[in-house]
Chain A
Amino acid sequence: MPERFEQLVLPHLDAAYNLARWLVGNPADAEDIVQEAFLRALRFFDGFRGGDSRAWLLKIVRNTSYSWVRKNRPTQLADEFDETIHSDERASENAEVKLLSRAQSERVREALQRLPLTFREVLVLREIEGLSYKEISEVTGVAMGTVMSSLSRARQRLRDQLGAASGREA
């Protein structure tokens, strides 16, 4: 492995695995995807001209994961666009706010795993991996404004799930 690749790309292995693991949902397939993504990364490494190597690698991991999902779990992609019911309306959420105060990791994990792929992805990148809007835009290839609105809808959706899981207040 070239030294520069080892220094710039390999340190982001955890980030790569975490993303793949969340996108495909199981350890064995996530490992395959990470291996394939690293091979691709190495192949395209001469095209990498510096900059954010984590975002660069995650973009490859994301594309590899999406190819896998398209092939093996095509239904996951189908429910991507049916989330029009949640507008920017805020008044109704307030009642649910309290329900989250003691949200446990396990409940959050389940709720997150149930979200449509694109929502799950944006939340994992922002909240678990700690990427900025700009980095998320780089990884997913969508505009910053779109990142913000899908993040917003994803949050609302996750919170609805968590609220529903613990029973709503009247």
Chain B
Amino acid sequence: MDCTLHRHLLEAYLDGELGFERTLEVEAHLASCSVCSSEVQSWKDVRMAMQGSELYHRAPAHLEANLRKLLPQTQTQKTPWFQGSIWAVGGAAFATAVLLISFVTMRPAGPSPAQDIVASHIRSMMADHLMDVVSTDQHTVKPWFDGKLDFAPPVQDFAADGYPLAGGRLDYVENRKVAVLIYHRALHIINVYVWPAGNNGSSAIRTQTINGYNVVSWKKGGFEFRAVSDLNIAELRDLAQLFMP
């Protein structure tokens, strides 16, 4: 019980918020301190229970439909403001917003590759076109790509590490056909884009955030990889690590 490790450090470790060196420090400490390691384990148990699907309240389908009706409607709505409904007020505000937005949206835009991938990720979630082949079996997903691409993407299941393979699909990024592997992490969906790199080299893992989505990039075994998700960077990096043992 003479543990001196600060509680915040332990929690930051748990939350994947520590840098590399600090993480190693805490891991070394955990190996020798049963108080802290059972502390971490107990919270991981609670976390598992919290990340069960029953605790995530997904928006009911009619809510999106309502919003889609509501938002464009307000664009052309001629309801007088004095009708007293909040929606009428919203409508007036919307008319103003539309005017402003029409100026704001005229921004120069040569999308970067990462932006391209994030846009593709968003489309895959919206258009109900997440997967072409649905399978948790890498031996089903891998052959599915045969003949559809001019390369054979590496397909692996990481269910044992908490990243089960869910399926695959074809997509276009920067005008070329790429393989997309879909993984799950708790309730998050991760799209991993794979295409041949120019050469056989490897690269370190890089991360960036675009529009609230995290993008983790790396190169390994002659392939370029981009993992995109709303999952936090730390856990997304963990997945990248699994690809490059």
Given contacts A88-B7, A132-B232, 19 further A-B contacts (CB under 8 A): A11-B125, A14-B59, A18-B57, A31-B66, A39-B71, A39-B87, A42-B71, A43-B93, A52-B209, A52-B211, A97-B39, A102-B45, A103-B46, A109-B55, A126-B15, A127-B51, A131-B232, A132-B233, A155-B11
Chain B CB within 8 A of A140 CB: no
Those of A46-74 within 8 Å (CB) of chain B: 46, 50-56
- Inter-chain contact A128/B212, CB cutoff 8 Å: no
Tell me whether B98 and A2 are in contact (CB under 8 A): yes
Interface centre among B3, B35, B103, B230 (most CB of A within 10 A): B230
**Chain A residues with Cβ under 8 A from B67's Cβ?**
10, 13, 34-35, 38
B17–A133 contact, CB under 8 A?
yes
The reply to whether B232 and A101 contact each other, CB–CB distance below 8 Å, is no
A162–B8 touching, CB < 8 Å = no
Q: List 28 A-B contacts (CB under 8 A).
A: A5-B71, A13-B59, A13-B64, A17-B59, A18-B58, A18-B59, A34-B59, A35-B67, A38-B71, A39-B90, A42-B94, A43-B90, A43-B93, A46-B101, A50-B211, A54-B211, A88-B7, A90-B3, A100-B42, A101-B42, A105-B50, A105-B52, A108-B55, A109-B54, A112-B55, A130-B188, A131-B232, A159-B46
Which chain A residues have a beta carbon within 8 Å of chain B's beta carbons? 1-2, 4-5, 7-8, 10-18, 21-22, 27, 30-31, 34-36, 38-39, 42-46, 50-56, 88, 90-91, 93-94, 96-98, 100-109, 112, 123, 126-128, 130-133, 148-149, 151-152, 155, 158-159, 162
B45, A101: Cβ atoms under 8 Å? yes
Tell me, in angstroms, the Cα distance from A109 to B49 when the chains sit together: 9
Contact status A132-B17, CB under 8 Å: yes
- Min Cβ gap A42→B in Å is 6
Q: Which of B75-126 contact A (CB under 8 A)?
A: 75, 86-87, 90, 93-94, 96-98, 100-101, 103-105, 119, 122, 125-126
Chain B residues closer than 8 Å to A38, beta-carbon distance: 67, 70-71
Give the chain A neighbours of B221 by CB distance below 8 A: none
Interface residues of B (CB under 8 A from A): 1, 3, 7-8, 11-12, 15, 17, 35, 38-39, 41-43, 45-47, 49-52, 54-60, 63-64, 66-68, 70-72, 74-75, 86-87, 90, 93-94, 96-98, 100-101, 103-105, 119, 122, 125-126, 186, 188, 209, 211-212, 230-235
Q: In the complex, A88→B11 CA distance in Å?
A: 12
Closest to B69 in A: A1
Given A100-B42, A128-B55, are A46 and B104 also a contact pair (CB < 8 Å)?
Answer: yes
A132 to B230, CA, bound (A): 11
Q: How far is B124's CA from A23's CA once the two chains are assembled, in angstroms? A: 29
Interchain nearest-CB distance for B33 vs A (Å): 11
Which residues on the A side are within 8 Å of B93 (C-beta)?
A: 39, 42-43
Q: How far is the CA of A42 from the CA of B141 in the complex (A)?
A: 41
Check A4 against B38 for contact (C-beta < 8 Å).
Answer: no
For A10, what are the chain B residues with a Cβ–Cβ distance below 8 Å? 64, 67, 126
> Within 8 Å CB of B125, what residues of A?
11
A22 to B57, CA, bound (A): 8
Judge whether B122 and A11 touch: CB under 8 Å.
yes
- How many whole Å from B209's CB to the nearest CB in chain A? 6
- B212–A148 CB distance below 8 A: no
- In the bound assembly, the distance between CA atoms of A98 and B98 in angstroms comes to 56
Q: How far is the CB of B127 from chain A (nearest CB, A)?
A: 11
Cβ contact of A152, chosen from B3, B7, B63, cutoff 8 A: B7
User: Please, how many angstroms separate the alpha-carbon atoms of A91 and B90 in the complex?
Assistant: 53
A108 vs chain B, min Cβ distance (A): 4
A30 to B57, CA, bound (A): 10
